[in-house]
Amino acid sequence: MNSNQLRQLFLSFFEEKGHRVLPSASLIPDDPTLLLTIAGMVPFKPFFLGKKEPLYPRVCTVQKCVRVSDLDKVGFTRRHHTFFEMLGNFSFGDYFKKEACIFAWEFLVHRLKLSEEKLWVSVHEKDEEAFHIWKDVVGVPEEKIVLLGDEDNFWASGPVGPCGYCSEIYFDFGERLSCGKPECKPGCDCDRYLEVWNLVFMEFDRQSDGSLRELPRKNIDTGMGLERIASVVQGVDSNFETDLFLPIIEELKKRSGLDYHSSTLPFFRVVADHVRAVTFLIADGIFPSNEGRGYVLRRLIRRAYRYGRKLGLEKPFLYELVFKVIEIMKDFYPELVDKSRLISQVVFQEEEKFDLTLKSGLSLLEEMVSKARKEGLKTVSGREIFKLYDTYGFPADVAREVLQEEGLDYSDEEFKQEMEAQRLRGKKAFQEKEQALRDYKALEEALGSFKSEFTGYDSLEGESKILVLLSKEGFCDQAAQGEEVFLVLERTPFYPEKGGQEWDTGFIIAPQGLARINRVFLVGESCIVHQGRVERGRLQAGEVVVARVDSRRRRMLAIHHTCTHLLHRALRNLLGEQVKQAGSWVGEQGLRFDFAHFAPLTEEEIKAVEAEVNAKIFEDLPVVVSYTTLEEARRSGVIALFDEKYQKEVRVVRVLGYSAELCGGTHLTRTAQAGLFRIISEGSIGSGIRRIEAVAGPLALERFQKDAQLVKSLKEAVEIDESQLLDKVQGLLEENKQLKKELTQFKRQATVDLVRQKILESKERVFSHLFSDASLDIETLRPVFDELRDQPLSRVVVLGMEKEGRVQGLVGTTGQLVRNLDLKKLVKEALKVSGGGGGGRPHLVQFGGVPRDKWAAFVEELCRLVNRESPE
């Protein structure tokens, strides 16, 4: 049975049991406590917490997941992965332990035809109910039910949130994979007993203080790794031998020419695993960066590329391997086919960038080798290797390989000390982030039960009651002048920060006071929190107040948000439908729009995009809001900007006849209300991601006016008509370029003349000269050697240039008597005295990195070596 059949059999089985089949959610979770979707239950967390009403009491999914907590084990064990698929069935207050156990056993034994003799069960040592269900209802022999503790049989989604006892089903692979210990049984670290299914009995909600609170209703969350159950059904010892991985490994074997055997086996597995994760992360809109999800992706690409090098793959290869992943997974994830070009291009750019990192790192490593030899050391500083790894991304194991080729090594102890110091810094940062999450959780616990009705789509002002008032000390009955407050209203026109749009500001006007609202944000699903300061009098909980939004700020937010929709459509029209929004920010002072594209926009393209947006503004198109189901929105071609898979109703914003997107923000009613649109800048913010910054409305008019004033000032400065201004400026630039070229040629000739004269006057066999002119470069010196090569006098010429305390330059020969010298070898030896590095041809060598105060020592040592090799 192949993996596609397994997925379908699972979903069909649970559909027969009354479950609604739902698609996989994105790898980007709608959860501030999680970086990535790490389990099948993540999309359903609000249902487990009772904060959101599920559409169906029973559902089942095949959920794509990514975890990097055990990254160092991936490829070196049979089962660890970064990307994996979790088969899961869920109950939201419907059935509980008994049905969950019966369903799982029936699927494994009767649908997959697994031998009952091979199956074992574990339960939490305190969960007597689950023990008796397995023994008395399902009929599992008591000796095959293992009692385990919290480490094995208590499941949690994170530091806070849903959790509960769990029961696991194991498959026994037999004695051949056993550790041989008499006490070997499920829970042992060996490969004999494979955990294939985890049934989580969701009973508790872990609070920010670590305490367990019973959930409003009992739930079931199960997870069975597709990769694991595939290995069982397909009769192989490792997940990597299943049809999910084997075609990738076969492709790697073909490319590398190596066999998949014990010594190279982990390398094949690491690459095969990581390329799957990389493919799905990019498909879900994650792009390489130096933080968050983007850093996870970058790290996986680099790690896979490094292990590819161990297989002899010395140039980018992952970008082609993603097509093998897509071929394997396309039947169940057809969206991969549509995004294949995007995925491949992102990976290729990242591979190329990392390849350059490796090459530049090698240059720095050579300097370390030179320094170590000069000082007579056999080891390089571990701190320097860590810096190379931490700052430049140069792998420590590659550094060790290079050093060993030179008969050197680096200090493991120093490297580990630096790594530990970084780990402690990272731990501190994590603790600070975790505390922030706990603070958010505490606020959610305090306010999550309150609900606010948002009225701001239709009105910017309205009466409402203060449901709750908080100061820094906690809940309070009233707040006086000068106090910072958080308050929740029964109804509010204030739009909270979400969907990339900034929050509204304004005032809360009370019978005996007034508060200025500076920030508005969401807690939970529907509690809108107003943060501000009491400027006059006092506010009191329970009183009726007037909430008034700053209309000018709201207007600018609506202008810029509407323009992001116009901009998105214009980009897709002009650059292609593959353009995908990767993020946005909408503020009072402008907008930022991030999108996937693999080349800078030309000036013509920028002008065309700007012109199309303005054309739609001038057409005065109606902006219409409607509500529908997600399925209907997709059928009608609406662009989804965020994941609303499990929402019953979605909000659609249409610019009639032009664009349609899912969006919850505030907008204009007609495009002409935006006035004008102006692109300020366009540039890269990461591999394959571009950013446009723009302004609209009054701010766009100001920008056009400033540009007009600049043109006027330039026209007056060069005293020419506006129609000829561009030609004039281009002429001046060309003239300046020509003058610079002539000046460079003059300097080069002057240098040649100076050196030629000094060589003719010198009686030394090794002639040296140090230039202090900062405008000179290596290319200026090369013609000197071209002109001196055929001089009758035999000389070794050393020309250096001082820049920022270091000397770089060239060493070459003239005449015939010293043509037998290998300058490359001599210069490398002389640099051991002074430090620095060099390389080139036997009769023309480039060097660099020589400290200014070691210049004389370098020349003296080179002179000694020349005389030794070619005495007069």
Q: Is residue 439 assigned to a domain?
A: no
* Backbone phi and psi for residue 77, each to the nearest 5 degrees, phi listed first: -125, 175
352 exposure class (CB count in 10 Å sphere: 0-12, 13-18, 19+):
middle
Among 234, 260, 289, give the residue marking a domain's end: 234
* Lookup: tokens for 150: 């919290």
By three-state DSSP, how is residue 748 classified? helix
| Kind of pairing between the strands at 453-454 and 409-410 | unpaired
Q: Which of 568, 573, 612, 566 is nearest to 593 (CA)?
A: 568
Q: Is residue 722 assigned to a domain?
A: no
Q: Is residue 137 assigned to a domain?
A: yes
Do 83 and 273 form a contact (C-beta atoms < 8 A)?
A: yes
Same domain? 45 vs 181: yes
**Residue 401 CB contacts under 8 Å (≥ 6 apart), including other chains:** none
CATH number of the domain where residue 678 is located: 3.30.980.10
757 exposure class (CB count in 10 Å sphere: 0-12, 13-18, 19+):
exposed
Task: Say how many C-beta atoms besides its own lie within 10 A of residue 456's C-beta.
Answer: 21
- The partner residues of 770 in beta bridges, in order of sequence, read 800
Residues in the chain: 872
CATH number of the domain where residue 496 is located: 2.40.30.130
Domains held by the chain: number:
6
378 exposure class (CB count in 10 Å sphere: 0-12, 13-18, 19+):
exposed
334 exposure class (CB count in 10 Å sphere: 0-12, 13-18, 19+):
exposed
Structural domain for 135, as ranges: 3-234
By three-state DSSP, how is residue 163 classified? strand
Alpha helices in 18-96 (DSSP H): 45-48
* Lookup: tokens for 377: 């050391």
* Cα-based torsion angle of the residue sequence 854, 856, 859, 860 in order, rounded to the nearest 10 degrees: -110
Three-state secondary structure string covering 220-255? EEEEEEHHHHHHHHCCCCCHHHCCCCHHHHHHHHHH
Q: What angle in degrees, to the nearest 10, is found between the helix axes of 246-256 and 265-283?
A: 120
Do 392 and 386 form a contact (C-beta atoms < 8 A)?
A: no
Same domain? 28 vs 126: yes
Same domain? 659 vs 692: yes
* Lookup: tokens for 800: 């250096």
Same domain? 139 vs 64: yes
CA separation for the pair 427, 436 (Å, rounded)? 14
| Kind of pairing between the strands at 639-640 and 659-662 | parallel
The whole-model pTM stands at: 0.60
Same domain? 318 vs 403: no
Same domain? 424 vs 453: no
Same domain? 108 vs 169: yes
Three-state secondary structure string covering 630-673? HHHHHHCCCEECCCCCCCCCEEEEEECCCEEEECCCCCCCEHHH
CA separation for the pair 468, 487 (Å, rounded)? 6
**Residue 45 CB contacts under 8 Å (≥ 6 apart), including other chains:** 31, 157, 161, 162
Among 431, 458, 484, give the residue marking a domain's end: 431
Same domain? 87 vs 228: yes
pLDDT for residue 645: 43
Q: Write down the residue that tokens 């050697």 correspond to.
A: 785
CA separation for the pair 480, 539 (Å, rounded)? 7
Q: Is residue 27 assigned to a domain?
A: yes
CATH number of the domain where residue 840 is located: 3.10.310.40
Q: Is 476 annotated as ligand-binding?
A: no
Q: Write down the residue that tokens 């009929």 correspond to.
A: 139
Q: Which of 810, 817, 769, 812 is nearest to 793 (CA)?
A: 817
CA separation for the pair 823, 125 (Å, rounded)? 76
Same domain? 47 vs 105: yes
Sheet of 689-696, strands arranged across: 580-587, 590-596, 689-696, 677-686
Q: Is 560 annotated as ligand-binding?
A: no
* Lookup: tokens for 169: 């089903």
What is the helix (H) or strand (E) element at residue 492, kind and residue range?
A: strand 491-492
CA 620 to chain centre: 39
Do 546 and 508 form a contact (C-beta atoms < 8 A)?
A: yes
Same domain? 688 vs 665: yes
Same domain? 328 vs 353: no
What is the mean pLDDT for each group of 10 consecutive residues in the chain (872 residues)? 96 96 92 86 83 88 93 89 96 94 96 94 93 95 92 79 88 82 79 90 84 84 95 94 96 91 88 97 86 88 89 91 96 91 88 82 80 79 83 75 78 82 67 53 68 92 92 85 92 92 95 94 86 94 94 96 96 86 90 86 94 96 90 75 55 92 93 95 82 94 86 75 75 84 78 75 84 74 74 82 86 71 86 83 85 91 86 64
Same domain? 541 vs 568: no
Query: DSSP code of 704?
Result: H
Q: Which of 546, 525, 516, 551 is nearest to 664 (CA)?
A: 525
Q: Is residue 112 assigned to a domain?
A: yes
- The partner residues of 506 in beta bridges, in order of sequence, read 517, 549
CATH number of the domain where residue 53 is located: 3.30.930.10
Q: Is residue 240 assigned to a domain?
A: no
In our burial notation (b when 16+ CB lie closer than 10 A, e otherwise), range 634-644 reads eeeebbbbbbb
Q: Is 565 annotated as ligand-binding?
A: yes
Q: Is residue 735 assigned to a domain?
A: no
**Residue 276 CB contacts under 8 Å (≥ 6 apart), including other chains:** 81, 82, 83, 244, 245, 248, 325, 329
Alpha helices in 41-127 (DSSP H): 45-48, 97-106
Q: Is residue 721 assigned to a domain?
A: no
DSSP letters spanning 341-408: HHHHHHHHHHHHHHHHHHHHHHHHHHHHHHHHHHTT-SEE-HHHHHHHHHHH---HHHHHHHHHHTT-
* Lookup: tokens for 130: 């689950």
Query: DSSP code of 110?
Result: I
CA separation for the pair 186, 168 (Å, rounded)? 9
**Residue 445 CB contacts under 8 Å (≥ 6 apart), including other chains:** 207, 208
CA separation for the pair 662, 660 (Å, rounded)? 7
Among 192, 212, 234, give the residue marking a domain's end: 234
Do 116 and 126 form a contact (C-beta atoms < 8 A)?
A: no
Task: Say how many C-beta atoms besides its own lie within 10 A of residue 524's C-beta.
Answer: 19
Q: Is 667 annotated as ligand-binding?
A: yes
Three-state secondary structure string covering 354-369? HHHHHHHHHHHHHHHH
CA separation for the pair 380, 410 (Å, rounded)? 4
pLDDT for residue 432: 56
